[in-house]
Structure 1
């Protein structure tokens, strides 16, 4: 039985993960961390991670960026692997993640969905074959409460593509400022924000007389929670190092 500390247990994602773990015979949540402790859970909840003295095999984090520094220090001190799902980390925090991973296993991905991470690989393979003769565009669609554009996942797709292209391509976010034809070596972004769209991403390879599209739709946040739980099973017991979802699904 893998023992989990749920960091951010009383948030939406924390509760979704709690439900998934409740129905998984391989896992159990032994403690939760959240500044809000009034919700009733099947495990003890601490409002400060440093108050948690319960032994665990792995921490799943879906909290806020402001809580990540204490989380990393705690994980480093106790040598507990972390599935780090919180987004919006500063450059300084990202450096801390890298430093901490030298002493404890940390898994961090731009998107925790197994499907998205599979698509990362498929898009890279397509890029090897198509980039020379096809223009590359990325469209992301999200709900009307999302504040960043393009999304982190859209940027991750571009980074995966550009990695194959020796990082020679420029990212273009807005074409309204200049009236000119697109250059060959660019990746264009379009962002749609509206309604309750959880997350849609299209990667378009547009060539002469044909278009090839890769598409992913998330219909609920549960896909990210399921990915995090799968990652926790993978990470428990792993040696120190930086991991991502491509390690979990073993391309």
Structure 2
């Protein structure tokens, strides 16, 4: 059954890619492309903005009635408003916006009592699979002679406003949950730091050019090293993941779901 889809943040870098992929996806009928009321491109055909054939859907600040699902790729400040609109419309919601504060996540949990919501720090299916592998590696290496050192290195484009990435923090959260002792989360190192702590998880954020996203999880041991690396070559992996999540939400009861649920890895 075709779902009536709205894309919020439709004129942004990620929103345009969601629009472009949605126009050729038989699971969806793109009926709304939403931006903030002061956006300079309001009224323009969203397909043309996305670099594909015109869709007949203008960029608008209005939310139409009758939606089945919305995908939000915007800014953290806009998420509460998007959630409120989806609650009013009683439609499903995929929150692909990163950098949310704890209070915003709490409000998403509250909203999920009434509508189905998918939220994850990354919409990439490969990233979420790598998260599961990182969990398994941590659990398997817990008792290795000399212990393991975990470092998380992430690279993103120069325009990204939060660091470390929400994806890197999620990797750290999942790895810490597998450790036998409480983890110490260390963000970068500088100066005379002394010997590395046995339960540290180190985070290192690199901001370069137009890199769409790359994460390397290093498990250092005495005598050998294991690295898990996942990298996007363009933004379509995130857009495709968001659309997969939106399709998965069809018919789901209210609740807060993750990409692990979408991929059947919960």
Please show how residues 195-206 of structure 1 align to structure 2 within 5 Å.
195-206=209-220
- Residue 39 (str. 1) matches residue 33 (str. 2): no
Distance 2:181 2:59 in 1: 44
The Cα shift of 1:241 comes to 0.3
The Cα shift of 1:124 comes to 0.3
Choose from 202, 206, 211 the match for 1:192.
206
The Cα shift of 1:224 comes to 0.5
CA deviations 1:37-88 (Å, max 9, x no partner) are: 143132444643xx43331211111122222222111211221010011122
Distance 1:88 1:104 in 2: 22
Deviates more, 1:8-17 or 1:206-215: 8-17
Deviates more, 1:239-248 or 1:144-153: 144-153
Deviates more, 1:198-207 or 1:148-157: 148-157
Partner SS for 1:107: strand
- Residue 14 (str. 1) matches residue 25 (str. 2): no
Aligned twin of 2:49: none
Aligned partners of 2:99 and 2:162 also within 8 Å: no
CA deviations 1:154-176 (Å, max 9, x no partner) are: 11110110112267111111321
- Residue 83 (str. 1) matches residue 97 (str. 2): no
Partner SS for 2:45: coil
Aligned twin of 1:69: 80
Aligned twin of 1:2: 3
Deviates more, 1:127-136 or 1:172-181: 172-181
Structure 2: runs of 5 or more not aligned: 47-54
Aligned twin of 2:28: 27
Aligned partners of 2:45 and 2:59 also within 8 Å: no
TM-score, length-scaled by structure 2: 0.88
Structure 1: runs of 5 or more not aligned: none
Please show how residues 170-249 of structure 1 align to structure 2 within 5 Å.
170-249=184-263
Partner SS for 1:201: strand
Aligned partners of 1:206 and 1:212 also within 8 Å: yes
The Cα shift of 1:130 comes to 1.0
Aligned twin of 1:119: 130
CA deviations 1:4-55 (Å, max 9, x no partner) are: 111122222121111111111221111121133143132444643xx43331
Q: Judging changes above 3 Å, is the alpha-carbon distance between structure 1 residues 167 and 224 closer, same or farther for their aligned structure 2 residues?
A: farther
The Cα shift of 1:118 comes to 0.4
Paired residues in the alignment total 249
Distance 2:181 2:26 in 1: 44
